[in-house]
Protein backbone atom coordinates (compact mmCIF):
# COMPACT_ATOMS: atom_id res chain seq x y z
CA UNK A 1 0.00 0.00 0.00
CA UNK A 2 1.32 3.44 -0.93
CA UNK A 3 1.62 6.02 1.82
CA UNK A 4 -0.68 9.04 1.41
CA UNK A 5 0.87 12.13 -0.14
CA UNK A 6 0.08 15.68 0.82
CA UNK A 7 0.84 19.10 -0.68
CA UNK A 8 3.49 21.24 0.99
CA UNK A 9 2.95 24.85 2.01
CA UNK A 10 5.06 27.46 0.28
CA UNK A 11 5.30 31.09 1.34
CA UNK A 12 6.00 33.65 -1.39
CA UNK A 13 7.26 37.03 -0.19
CA UNK A 14 6.13 39.95 -2.33
CA UNK A 15 8.69 42.61 -1.38
CA UNK A 16 7.39 46.00 -2.50
CA UNK A 17 9.51 49.11 -2.81
CA UNK A 18 7.70 52.09 -4.26
CA UNK A 19 5.97 50.86 -7.40
CA UNK A 20 8.22 47.83 -7.84
CA UNK A 21 8.39 44.24 -6.61
CA UNK A 22 11.48 42.09 -6.12
CA UNK A 23 12.02 39.03 -8.30
CA UNK A 24 14.88 36.57 -8.47
CA UNK A 25 15.94 34.46 -11.41
CA UNK A 26 16.21 30.78 -10.47
CA UNK A 27 19.24 28.79 -11.55
CA UNK A 28 18.53 26.35 -14.35
CA UNK A 29 19.53 23.41 -12.16
CA UNK A 30 17.16 24.19 -9.26
CA UNK A 31 13.40 23.89 -8.60
CA UNK A 32 11.89 26.43 -10.98
CA UNK A 33 14.52 25.95 -13.70
CA UNK A 34 15.41 29.46 -14.90
CA UNK A 35 12.14 31.24 -14.06
CA UNK A 36 11.61 34.50 -12.17
CA UNK A 37 10.15 34.18 -8.68
CA UNK A 38 9.58 36.00 -5.41
CA UNK A 39 11.73 35.21 -2.38
CA UNK A 40 10.14 32.39 -0.44
CA UNK A 41 10.22 28.81 0.67
CA UNK A 42 8.67 26.15 2.84
CA UNK A 43 6.67 26.90 5.93
CA UNK A 44 8.51 25.11 8.73
CA UNK A 45 6.79 23.10 11.46
CA UNK A 46 5.47 25.42 14.21
CA UNK A 47 6.44 28.58 12.29
CA UNK A 48 3.98 31.41 11.63
CA UNK A 49 3.48 32.57 8.04
CA UNK A 50 4.82 36.03 8.99
CA UNK A 51 7.95 34.57 10.56
CA UNK A 52 8.48 32.37 7.51
CA UNK A 53 8.22 35.38 5.18
CA UNK A 54 10.72 37.39 7.25
CA UNK A 55 13.11 34.43 7.51
CA UNK A 56 13.02 33.56 3.81
CA UNK A 57 13.49 37.18 2.70
CA UNK A 58 16.50 37.58 4.98
CA UNK A 59 18.05 34.20 4.08
CA UNK A 60 17.69 34.69 0.33
CA UNK A 61 18.19 38.45 -0.14
CA UNK A 62 19.66 39.88 3.07
CA UNK A 63 16.66 42.22 3.32
CA UNK A 64 14.67 42.78 6.50
CA UNK A 65 10.99 43.02 5.62
CA UNK A 66 7.89 44.27 7.38
CA UNK A 67 4.71 42.28 6.79
CA UNK A 68 1.97 44.61 5.49
CA UNK A 69 -0.75 42.16 4.54
CA UNK A 70 -1.61 39.07 2.56
CA UNK A 71 -2.38 38.24 -1.01
CA UNK A 72 -4.33 35.24 -2.23
CA UNK A 73 -3.15 31.65 -2.22
CA UNK A 74 -2.60 29.42 -5.24
CA UNK A 75 -2.77 25.67 -5.81
CA UNK A 76 0.38 24.72 -7.72
CA UNK A 77 1.04 21.28 -9.17
CA UNK A 78 4.48 20.88 -10.74
CA UNK A 79 3.70 17.67 -12.62
CA UNK A 80 7.14 17.26 -14.22
CA UNK A 81 8.79 17.46 -10.79
CA UNK A 82 6.08 15.45 -9.00
CA UNK A 83 5.56 18.32 -6.52
CA UNK A 84 2.40 19.94 -5.21
CA UNK A 85 2.30 23.18 -3.20
CA UNK A 86 -0.29 25.49 -1.79
CA UNK A 87 1.43 28.88 -2.00
CA UNK A 88 0.56 31.69 0.41
CA UNK A 89 1.49 35.21 -0.70
CA UNK A 90 2.67 37.71 1.92
CA UNK A 91 2.86 41.44 1.13
CA UNK A 92 5.92 43.11 2.61
CA UNK A 93 7.99 46.26 2.40
CA UNK A 94 11.71 46.77 2.87
CA UNK A 95 13.67 49.95 3.42
CA UNK A 96 17.04 48.16 3.51
CA UNK A 97 19.64 48.55 0.79
CA UNK A 98 19.74 46.44 -2.32
CA UNK A 99 19.14 42.68 -2.26
CA UNK A 100 22.09 40.29 -2.35
CA UNK A 101 22.26 36.80 -3.81
CA UNK A 102 22.65 34.85 -0.56
CA UNK A 103 21.87 31.42 -2.04
CA UNK A 104 23.80 31.29 -5.33
CA UNK A 105 23.07 27.57 -5.69
CA UNK A 106 19.36 28.50 -6.11
CA UNK A 107 19.25 32.05 -7.49
CA UNK A 108 21.33 33.91 -10.12
CA UNK A 109 20.18 37.47 -9.44
CA UNK A 110 17.61 39.78 -7.81
CA UNK A 111 16.02 42.73 -9.59
CA UNK A 112 13.21 45.24 -9.04
CA UNK A 113 10.36 45.24 -11.60
CA UNK A 114 7.04 47.02 -12.04
CA UNK A 115 4.00 44.74 -11.85
CA UNK A 116 2.92 45.50 -15.40
CA UNK A 117 6.39 44.71 -16.81
CA UNK A 118 7.49 41.53 -15.04
CA UNK A 119 10.14 39.44 -16.83
CA UNK A 120 9.40 36.09 -18.40
CA UNK A 121 9.23 33.24 -17.74
CA UNK A 122 7.46 33.48 -14.37
CA UNK A 123 7.30 30.81 -11.66
CA UNK A 124 4.04 28.81 -11.74
CA UNK A 125 2.49 30.41 -8.61
CA UNK A 126 3.00 33.91 -10.06
CA UNK A 127 1.45 32.81 -13.37
CA UNK A 128 -1.55 31.58 -11.38
CA UNK A 129 -1.83 35.04 -9.76
CA UNK A 130 -2.01 36.64 -13.19
CA UNK A 131 -4.55 34.10 -14.42
CA UNK A 132 -6.73 35.08 -11.46
CA UNK A 133 -6.40 38.78 -12.34
CA UNK A 134 -4.72 39.70 -9.03
CA UNK A 135 -2.21 42.50 -8.52
CA UNK A 136 -0.69 43.84 -5.31
CA UNK A 137 -2.36 46.85 -3.70
CA UNK A 138 -0.63 50.24 -3.67
CA UNK A 139 1.28 49.77 -6.93
- C-alpha distances (whole Å) from 8 to each of 37, 41, 53 are 17, 10, 15
pLDDT by residue (tens digit) across 13-50? 999 998 999 999 998 766 668 899 999 999 999 999 99
Confidence band for 139, pLDDT divided at 50, 70 and 90: low
The DSSP line for 44-110 is PTT--HHHHHHHHHHHHH----EEEEEEEEEEEEEGGGTEEEEEEEEEEE--SS----S-TTTEEEE
Give the separation between CA 139 and CA 18, rounded to whole angstroms. Answer: 7
Cβ within 8 Å of residue 120, ≥6 positions away: 36
- 3 against 54, higher pLDDT: 54
The pLDDT of residue 94: 93
Please give, one letter per residue, the 3-state secondary structure of 103-124. CCCCEEEEEEEEHHHCCCCECH
pLDDT of residue 27: 85
CA 106, distance to chain mean position in Å, is: 13
**Level-2 CATH architecture, domain 8-131:** Alpha-Beta Complex (3.90)
Q: What's the predicted TM-score (pTM) here?
A: 0.93
Taking the domains of the chain in order of start, what are their residue ranges?
8-131
Query: What would the pLDDT profile of 65-107 be if each residue is shown by its tens digit?
Result: 999 999 999 999 999 989 999 999 999 999 888 999 999 999 9
Amino acid sequence: MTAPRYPRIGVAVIVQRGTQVLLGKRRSDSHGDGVWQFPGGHLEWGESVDDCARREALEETGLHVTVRGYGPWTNDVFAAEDKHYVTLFVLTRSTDGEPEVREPHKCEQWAWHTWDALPEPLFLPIRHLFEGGWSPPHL
